[in-house]
């Protein structure tokens, strides 16, 4: 009897456990279905959002006004799309660091002649964005307003952030003033790349005097990357007969170690460059120029400190061979000394030194003779310059009754240019 009662109670307990277990299982399944439904709903929502953004991006790339509006509608929280659709105020609400939108609002205010608001908005763009664009916008704004002091402040800040082609930047400065010294002093930061760009700009604009002035601070910090630019400046100054400025550029390069030569100081008797031919001629500025002509073959022999010039009989009846522009003292008489030997050239070879006035192209009266000597020989040429520059040139001129020469001239590294006694 007791056993039966116990067994019955136990059975009922097991039944209740089974019922509770079944209920738990049913609840768990229900929650799992709900979770799966929510996951599917989230996935569907994400897919829709991705699709909307993809379509917005596609419309944005088409860049037509109607397409930009559609992109802004599909992505209402994207500041870039709102800006492109013509809603700069909404763009800065979405992204307070969107400097382009602040600038757009500033330009709109300026068009409405609300200049105080325009200035405030452009300054806000500069506060949230330290790149060149907002500074450039402010410089342009102050140029239009005729505010010189604020213009130069923001122009210089823009220049400090500039890179690449800076021509538009420099043009802006020259719209404010025609005084190159003011542009250099107030607008050009003492940074090597900016100064080099500015000198290049001035050369392209044919502002040679201002380029020479801008080169002075550049020469104090110039690196090998600026050597070609400074040599170009020197060439241009020589061509313009600006001897003093050309020597400043040359001597500045020497002081910076950009050239393997010495400084030129005509007042102290130093007028020739590379007199010992220890360095390969640059062919530019004040160095020797090997003049490449038909029938003429010139080489520098660095180990022997010599230049060899060969004529193959096909050279022109009058042709330059080698030349150097030298700064001199006007009104003084000079003597140019050289050492040479020849191979296969007749006595009346027609090869000789001439001296020209670069300003007029006039050939100066000189002493001297044709070069012809199988042994090493020293030659001398005297002349009196009419200006501060001379061009000393070895040239060939076929003498009447002779055939064109075949042979060679070898010049030793023993050049001198001295005031005649």
CA distance 31 to 254: 86
**Tokens 């044709």 belong to residue:** 370
Residue 191 lies in a domain: no
In a domain, 413, yes or no: yes
CA distance 353 to 396: 9
- Please check whether residue 337 lies inside any domain of the structure: yes
- Please indicate, yes or no, if residue 351 is contained in any of the structural domains: yes
User: What CATH number does the domain containing 351 carry?
Assistant: 2.60.120.260
Answer whether 342's CB lies under 8 Å from 306's CB: no
- Residue 294 in domain: yes
d(CA 277, CA 308): 12
Domain that holds residue 306: 289-419
**Calpha distance 290→296 (Å, rounded):** 10
Domain assignment present for residue 401? The answer is: yes
Residue 349 token pair: 């070879």
Q: Into how many domains does the chain fold?
A: 1
Task: Please give the sequence-ordered ranges of beta strands (E in DSSP) within 66-170, or none if there are none.
Answer: none
Question: Is residue 139 assigned to a domain?
Answer: no
The answer to whether position 59 is within a domain reads: no
What does the buried/exposed string (b/e) look like for 273-286 if buried means 16 or more CB atoms within 10 Å of the residue's CB?
bbbebebebbeebb
Beta-bridge mates of residue 4: none
Tokens of 36: 């799966």
Task: Dig out the tokens for 145 from the structure.
Answer: 């307003």
Distance CA 54, CA 71 (A): 9
Bridge partners of 298, per DSSP, are: 309
* pTM beyond 0.75: yes
Per-residue pLDDT of the chain (421 residues; tens, 9 = 90+): 554 555 566 566 666 656 666 666 666 667 667 766 665 555 555 554 455 555 445 545 544 666 555 655 555 667 677 777 778 888 888 889 989 999 999 999 999 999 999 999 999 999 999 999 999 999 999 999 999 999 999 999 999 999 999 999 999 999 999 999 999 999 999 999 999 999 999 999 999 999 999 999 999 999 999 999 999 999 999 999 999 999 999 999 999 999 999 999 999 999 999 999 999 999 999 999 999 889 999 999 989 999 999 999 888 888 999 999 999 999 899 999 999 999 999 888 889 999 999 988 899 988 878 899 999 999 999 999 999 999 999 999 988 878 888 999 999 999 999 998 7
């Amino acid at each position: 009897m007791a056993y039966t009662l116990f067994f019955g109670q136990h059975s009922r307990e097991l039944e209740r456990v089974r019922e509770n277990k079944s209920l738990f299982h049913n609840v768990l399944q229900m929650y799992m279905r709900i979770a799966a439904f929510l996951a599917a709903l989230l996935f569907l929502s994400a897919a829709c959002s991705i699709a909307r953004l993809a379509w917005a991006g596609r419309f944005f790339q088409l860049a037509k006004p109607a397409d930009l509006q559609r992109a802004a509608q599909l992505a209402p929280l994207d500041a870039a799309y709102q800006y492109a659709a013509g809603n700069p105020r909404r763009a800065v609400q979405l992204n307070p660091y969107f400097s382009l939108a602040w600038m757009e609002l500033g330009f709109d205010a300026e068009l409405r002649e609300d200049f105080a608001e325009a200035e405030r908005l452009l300054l806000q763009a500069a506060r949230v964005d330290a790149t060149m664009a907002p500074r450039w916008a402010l410089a342009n704004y102050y140029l239009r307003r005729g505010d010189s002091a604020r213009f130069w402040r923001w122009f210089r800040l823009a220049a400090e952030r500039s890179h690449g082609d800076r021509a538009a930047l420099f043009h802006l400065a020259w719209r404010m003033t025609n005084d190159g010294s003011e542009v250099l002093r107030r607008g050009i930061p003492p940074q090597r790349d900016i100064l080099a760009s500015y000198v290049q700009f001035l050369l392209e604009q044919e502002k040679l005097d201002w380029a020479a002035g801008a080169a002075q601070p550049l020469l104090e910090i110039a690196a090998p990357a600026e050597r070609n630019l400074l040599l170009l400046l020197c060439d241009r100054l020589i061509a313009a007969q600006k001897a003093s400025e050309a020597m400043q550029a040359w001597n500045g390069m020497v002081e910076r170690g950009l050239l393997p030569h010495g400084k030129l100081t005509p007042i102290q008797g130093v007028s020739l460059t590379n007199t010992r031919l220890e360095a390969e001629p640059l062919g530019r500025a004040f160095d020797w120029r090997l003049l490449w002509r038909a029938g003429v073959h010139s080489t520098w022999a660095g180990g022997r400190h010599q230049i060899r010039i060969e004529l193959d009989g096909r050279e022109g009846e009058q042709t330059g061979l080698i030349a150097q522009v030298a700064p001199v003292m006007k009104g003084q008489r000079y003597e140019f000394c050289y050492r040479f030997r020849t191979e296969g050239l007749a006595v009346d070879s027609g090869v000789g030194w001439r001296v020209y006035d670069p300003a007029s192209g006039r050939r100066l009266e000189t002493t001297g003779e044709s070069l012809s000597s199988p042994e090493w020989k020293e030659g001398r040429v005297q002349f009196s310059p009419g200006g501060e520059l001379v061009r000393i040139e070895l040239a060939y001129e076929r003498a009447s009754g002779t055939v064109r020469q075949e042979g060679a001239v070898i010049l030793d590294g023993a050049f001198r240019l001295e005031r005649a006694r």
